[in-house]
């Protein structure tokens, strides 16, 4: 159904805010930036379900704005995340970060409201272009290298999406972005797989996840908050829209939920720990999409909603630590609770939320996915998710606050971060508690599918409390026995070892061999030409050698020209 046009496309208020940030300065710029997501959210509240701004392009119907419950939920989430991130970044004066952050949020909103694959592709690529600026804005050599690797992988995702889209359009005659699935026939199946892989790269599937753990920790303290909010959640939305009930996603999601735990436990950079934790949490969402029931899908999108808030809170607290101390490695921190008590408390709220403590936001969404797994007979999946839930409490619920604010006293004495950073963290912390205590009135009210679920029953609460208790007991015992992996200054590589170590080790010798052969050939050619020149010139007489190099009189040349001309004329007339 094509509806009457709204006042503006949903992404435009944020884009207008980003353009204003280019020219405005001071308090006026701050006010406009804060008003942009508020204005955008108010516009969303007036939108009715339907298709807006429909147009024809090259014979195909485009639907740039499609409004339904799923897109509206992510639209509200992204405007809320943008507002919190803007508040957090108000103290900085870097125009690049402000413009890139707001533009990035606008592209995320545009992507989730895209009703066709071509419009989705446009915003998909703009997401990569705007987000990489938040990495390069840190202006370090490591940030530049990580940003280049990040951008190349995102471009690959865009190429796969475009190729799959073109196949899909040519075979179906429609560009509409709806349920695609992997059970197509012929070449259409190839197109579906290409789109699936494009979504998977942005969702940080195993073996194509390293752009996240490599680049996010190298971004600016404020840029990481934006990055943690949008890219992977757009991919989760795309999977929920295009591939619900695809069983392969269940096993991919389980792998995502489990394997980051081992790397996060030994990681020293605390923002990289949170990057691994993000993959772990997205794994729960992917499992829910793969199961495909109403309860599972609701659990996936509800957990995406909550993850943006509590992961953003944890990223903000670690960004505050980095901003105030200049350090982020667990081996260099500790004892900060003495000089940053408010930040410590806010970090603990985020840790409790991501660990799914009852009365915190993570509990009311993560349990939905696990309940759906049990209900559909995925018992082994449920056990694996239980292990993953214990693991995330270990590395994000305990390790982050413990090594940053407690553990050994590093001797660092600083102050609380700027007030705007505290306010942003406070907003996120309050939301974590309110959503956890009143899910039916908050996140459950936005859910796209009909499913009755009550998180606070005796079984769920007792199971989760036991899990958390024994996980904490294991951490304490390992720490007292000095068996917990120590925080060591190091850089951990996983699948990125293939292109950061193995590929250079193979390609560098090949490169030098090829360039050496080219240089040698060039040198031999130069020497040969020089030898020819030297042999054709008489140094003693200071003149060229040979009959044809002699200086001939003009009349001789005229004679031979006339002779050749006469010969040509005779041959022509014969």
pLDDT at 2: 57
Q: Tell me the two tokens of residue 559.
A: 């004679």
Residue 140 and residue 31 share a domain:
yes
How much of the chain, in percent, has pLDDT values that exceed 90? 63
- Which residues, other chains included, contact 395 with Cβ-Cβ below 8 Å and sequence gap of 6+? 261, 264, 265, 267, 273, 276, 277
- Inform me whether the pLDDT recorded for 332 exceeds 70: yes
| Count of domains observed in the chain | 2
pLDDT (average), residues 373-387: 92
Q: Residue 388 gets which letter from DSSP? A: H
The pair phi, psi for residue 267, each rounded to 5°, is -75, 140
Which residues make beta-bridge pairs with 65? 52
Residue 233 and residue 142 share a domain:
yes
421 within some domain: yes
pLDDT grade for 470, boundaries at 50, 70 and 90? confident
pLDDT (average), residues 535-548: 62
pLDDT at 505: 66
pLDDT (average), residues 334-346: 93
Return the SS3 of 61: strand
- Which residues, other chains included, contact 446 with Cβ-Cβ below 8 Å and sequence gap of 6+? 69, 72, 73, 76, 305
Residue 94 and residue 136 share a domain:
yes
Q: Is 567 exposed, middle or buried (0-12, 13-18, 19+ CB in 10 A)?
A: exposed
Q: Tell me the two tokens of residue 361.
A: 């936001």
Q: Tell me the two tokens of residue 556.
A: 């001789």
Q: Which residue among 200, 228, 243 closes a domain?
A: 243
Integer Cα distance of 2 and 438 in angstroms = 36
568 within some domain: no
Integer Cα distance of 510 and 226 in angstroms = 40
- Inform me whether the pLDDT recorded for 552 exceeds 60: no
pTM of the shown model: 0.84
pLDDT at 520: 83
Integer Cα distance of 492 and 267 in angstroms = 7
pLDDT (average), residues 380-385: 93
Q: Tell me the two tokens of residue 332.
A: 């260099």
Integer Cα distance of 405 and 416 in angstroms = 13
156 within some domain: yes
Reduce the secondary structure of 240-300 to three states and give it as a string: HHHCCCCCHHHHHHHHHHHHHHHHHHHCCEHHHHHHHHHHHHHHHHHHHHHHCCHHHHHHH
40 within some domain: yes
pLDDT at 92: 92
Integer Cα distance of 128 and 235 in angstroms = 12
- Which residues, other chains included, contact 398 with Cβ-Cβ below 8 Å and sequence gap of 6+? 351, 471, 472, 475
pLDDT at 358: 92
Q: Which residue among 447, 462, 492 closes a domain?
A: 492
pLDDT at 331: 85
Q: What's the chain's average pLDDT?
A: 88
- Inform me whether the pLDDT recorded for 550 exceeds 70: no
Residue 256 and residue 186 share a domain:
no
Ranked by mean pLDDT, the top range of 59-63, 398-402, 431-435 is 431-435
Residue 131 and residue 249 share a domain:
no
pLDDT at 504: 67
429 within some domain: yes
- Inform me whether the pLDDT recorded for 502 exceeds 80: no
Q: Which residue among 436, 470, 492 closes a domain?
A: 492
- Inform me whether the pLDDT recorded for 165 exceeds 60: yes
Residue 410 and residue 334 share a domain:
yes
- Inform me whether the pLDDT recorded for 190 exceeds 70: yes
pLDDT grade for 511, boundaries at 50, 70 and 90? low
Buried b (16+ CB within 10 A) or exposed e, 379-413: eebbebbeebbbbbbbbbbbbbbbbbbbbeebebe
Specify whether the CB–CB gap between 277 and 433 falls below 8 A: no
- Which residues, other chains included, contact 379 with Cβ-Cβ below 8 Å and sequence gap of 6+? 373
Specify whether the CB–CB gap between 130 and 227 falls below 8 A: no
pLDDT tens, residue by residue, 16-68: 999 999 998 989 999 999 999 999 999 998 888 999 888 887 778 889 999 99
Residue 219 and residue 89 share a domain:
yes
Residue 235 and residue 254 share a domain:
no
Residue 139 and residue 213 share a domain:
yes
pLDDT (average), residues 387-408: 88
- Inform me whether the pLDDT recorded for 164 exceeds 80: yes
How much of the chain, in percent, has pLDDT values that exceed 70? 90
pLDDT grade for 96, boundaries at 50, 70 and 90? very high
> Between residues 58 and 239, which one has the greater pLDDT?
239
pLDDT (average), residues 252-280: 92
Q: Where is average pLDDT lowest: 159-168, 171-180, 449-458?
A: 449-458
543 within some domain: no
- Inform me whether the pLDDT recorded for 544 exceeds 90: no
pLDDT tens, residue by residue, 475-487: 777 777 776 666 6
Residue 183 and residue 110 share a domain:
yes
101 within some domain: yes
pLDDT at 487: 61
Integer Cα distance of 423 and 13 in angstroms = 23
pLDDT at 158: 95
The pair phi, psi for residue 243, each rounded to 5°, is -135, 45
- Inform me whether the pLDDT recorded for 493 exceeds 90: no
Residue span of the structural domain in which 146 resides: 1-243
520 within some domain: no
pLDDT at 521: 83
Residue 319 and residue 260 share a domain:
yes
Integer Cα distance of 278 and 260 in angstroms = 9
Residue 319 and residue 228 share a domain:
no
Rounded-to-5 percentages of helix, strand, coil across the chain: 70, 5, 25
pLDDT at 201: 95
pLDDT grade for 372, boundaries at 50, 70 and 90? very high
């Amino acid at each position: 159904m094509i509806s009457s046009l709204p006042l503006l496309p949903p992404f435009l208020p944020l884009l207008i805010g980003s353009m204003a940030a280019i020219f405005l300065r001071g308090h006026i710029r701050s006010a406009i930036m804060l008003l942009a997501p508020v204005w955008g959210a108010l516009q969303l509240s007036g939108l009715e379900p339907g298709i807006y701004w429909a147009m024809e392009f090259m014979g195909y119907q485009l639907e740039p704005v499609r409004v339904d419950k799923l897109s509206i939920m992510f639209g509200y989430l992204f405007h809320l995340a943008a507002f919190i991130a803007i508040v957090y970044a108000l103290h900085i004066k870097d125009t690049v970060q402000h413009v890139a952050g707001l533009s990035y949020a606008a592209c995320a909103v545009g992507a989730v409201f895209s009703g066709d694959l071509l419009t989705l592709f446009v915003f998909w690529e703009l997401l990569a272009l705007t987000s990489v600026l938040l990495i390069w804005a840190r202006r370090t050599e490591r940030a530049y290298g990580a940003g280049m690797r990040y951008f190349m992988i995102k471009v690959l995702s865009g190429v796969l999406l475009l190729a799959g889209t073109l196949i899909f359009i040519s075979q179906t005659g429609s560009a509409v972005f709806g349920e695609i699935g992997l059970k197509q026939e012929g070449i259409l199946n190839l197109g579906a797989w290409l789109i699936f892989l494009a979504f998977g790269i942005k969702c940080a599937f195993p073996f194509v996840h390293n752009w996240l753990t490599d680049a996010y920790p190298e971004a600016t303290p404020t840029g990481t908050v934006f990055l943690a909010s949008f890219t992977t959640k757009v991919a989760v939305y795309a999977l929920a829209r295009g591939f619900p009930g695809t069983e392969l996603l269940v096993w991919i999601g389980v792998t995502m939920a489990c394997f980051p735990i081992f790397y996060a436990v030994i990681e020293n950079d605390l923002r990289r720990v949170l990057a691994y934790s993000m993959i772990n949490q997205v794994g729960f969402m992917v499992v829910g999409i793969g199961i495909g029931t109403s309860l599972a899908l609701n659990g996936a999108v509800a957990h995406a909603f909550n993850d943006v808030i509590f992961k953003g809170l944890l990223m903000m607290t670690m960004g505050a630590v980095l901003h105030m101390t200049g350090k982020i490695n667990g081996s260099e921190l500790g004892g900060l609770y003495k000089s940053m008590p408010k930040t410590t408390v806010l970090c603990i709220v985020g840790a409790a939320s991501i660990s799914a403590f009852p009365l915190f936001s993570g509990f009311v969404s993560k349990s939905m996915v696990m309940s759906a797994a049990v209900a559909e007979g995925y018992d082994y999946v449920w056990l694996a998710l239980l292990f993953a839930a214990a693991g995330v409490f270990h590395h994000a619920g305990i390790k982050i606050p413990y090594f940053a604010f407690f553990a050994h006293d590093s001797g660092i004495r600083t102050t609380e971060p700027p007030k705007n950073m505290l306010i942003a963290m406070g907003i996120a912390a309050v939301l974590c508690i309110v959503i956890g205590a009143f899910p039916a009135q908050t996140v459950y009210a936005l859910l796209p599918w009909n499913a009755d679920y009550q998180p606070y029953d005796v079984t769920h609460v007792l199971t989760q409390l036991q899990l958390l208790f024994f996980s904490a007991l294991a951490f304490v015992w390992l720490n007292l026995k000095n068996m917990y992996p120590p925080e060591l200054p190091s850089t951990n590589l996983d699948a990125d070892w293939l292109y950061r170590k193995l590929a250079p080790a193979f390609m560098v010798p090949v490169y030098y061999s090829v360039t050496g052969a080219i240089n040698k050939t060039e040198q031999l050619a130069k020497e040969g030409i020089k030898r020819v020149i030297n042999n054709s010139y008489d140094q003693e007489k200071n003149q060229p050698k040979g009959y044809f190099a002699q200086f001939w009189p003009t009349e001789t040349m005229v004679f031979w020209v006339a002779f050749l001309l006469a010969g040509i004329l005779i041959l022509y007339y014969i």
